[in-house]
Amino acid sequence: MNTPVPRSRESRARAERAFARLLDAVGDHWDKLILIGGLLPERLVGEAEPHQGTTDVDVVLDLALVFDRDEQDFGWLEQALLGAGFAQHKPNIGWRWEIKIEGFVVLVDFLVDVTDNKGQELALPGAHCLGAMNVSGPQVVFMATQHIHIGGRQALAADIGGYLVAKASAVVIRTLKKDLYDFAYVVVHSLRGEIDIAFAAAKASASSSSSIALGNVRAACRMFEDVRGDAASAYATAAHETNPVEPIEVHALDAVVAVGQFLGRFEMILAKGGQST
């Protein structure tokens, strides 16, 4: 059994190298992989204070509705993974692949967001072993992307609005500490940099075909209403590890205040029909 590797700057660098290797392998198909997850927060806000890091890579794929899937072929992705030295994560998980970078295992998770069979692994057309986990939330990123560079390679990633809306869904559905931290990190540091994340999130939410996205943003934000609550504590503990100069209590207050401000402006923009001021 592999011992879990903690999130760190070093693990983040290895994850970037793993994704860069995948981008090299897929060639002209690079724009069919949308990056989301822990590799993005620091890039999204351009903040000097470091993000805690990540140990894996999350990639969203555009899987068609069930009656249109016969026209798709993801064989190119499976061949690229195998050719680049990736292997299925044991025991034979089709949606999670791994590769060793500097002696450490880096996981790459493939995600889709379609209406059928939520919470289950779906087979990908044209692939023998490759699958994707069907989760709620990331569908929004197809209308909220940006171009970035990873290891000198061009890549497609969620923009800040798409990231926040998708991450809010992860917060609500999974309530993992790392999701709570990532969500609050982007909100806290975006507001410090005067980025209008509320407008970006409202725009991304509006692009979603479901009202669930709006509800998840609201629900995720309300988890941060109590400075002594689990959400604020999750952010504060991780933030203190990267910035021990500030007391944990200050980090918790930062999260509560920033998320509250974000939600207030988010609601105001929605009330005005999605128009920024």
pTM of the model: 0.92
- Closest among 11, 3, 22 to 153, alpha carbons compared: 22
Q: Are 3 and 134 members of one domain?
A: yes
pLDDT band, very low/low/confident/very high, at 105 (cuts 50, 70, 90): very high
Q: Are 18 and 145 members of one domain?
A: yes
pLDDT in the model for residue 74: 96
Query: How many structural domains is the chain composed of?
Result: 2
pLDDT tens digits, one per residue of 139-176? 999 999 999 999 889 999 999 999 999 999 999 999 89
pLDDT in the model for residue 3: 55
> Are the beta carbons of 98 and 105 closer than 8 angstroms?
yes
Q: Are 119 and 5 members of one domain?
A: yes
Question: What is the distance between the alpha carbons of residues 135 and 119, in angstroms, rounded to a whole number?
Answer: 5
pLDDT in the model for residue 1: 43
Which of 111, 130, 158 is the C-terminal boundary of a domain? 158
Question: What is the distance between the alpha carbons of residues 155 and 53, in angstroms, rounded to a whole number?
Answer: 19
Above pLDDT 90, what percent of the chain? 75
Which of 140, 158, 176 is the C-terminal boundary of a domain? 158
pLDDT in the model for residue 277: 57
Q: Which domain holds residue 123?
A: 1-158
Does residue 51 have a pLDDT over 70?
yes
Q: Are 77 and 208 members of one domain?
A: no
Q: Are 118 and 201 members of one domain?
A: no
Residue by residue, what is the 3-state secondary structure of 93-126? EEEEEEEEECCEEEEEEEEECCCCCCCCEEECCC
Q: Are 41 and 1 members of one domain?
A: yes
Residue with tokens 């171009």: 147
Q: Are 218 and 135 members of one domain?
A: no
Above pLDDT 70, what percent of the chain? 96
> Are the beta carbons of 173 and 220 closer than 8 angstroms?
no
Does residue 89 have a pLDDT over 60?
yes
Q: Are 277 and 187 members of one domain?
A: yes
Instruction: Locate the DSSP E strands across the chain.
Output: 34-36, 56-60, 87-89, 93-101, 104-112, 121-123, 131-134, 145-150, 153-158
Q: Are 107 and 182 members of one domain?
A: no
Question: What is the distance between the alpha carbons of residues 272 and 260, in angstroms, rounded to a whole number?
Answer: 19
Which of 101, 128, 158 is the C-terminal boundary of a domain? 158
Q: Are 141 and 189 members of one domain?
A: no
Q: Are 197 and 263 members of one domain?
A: yes
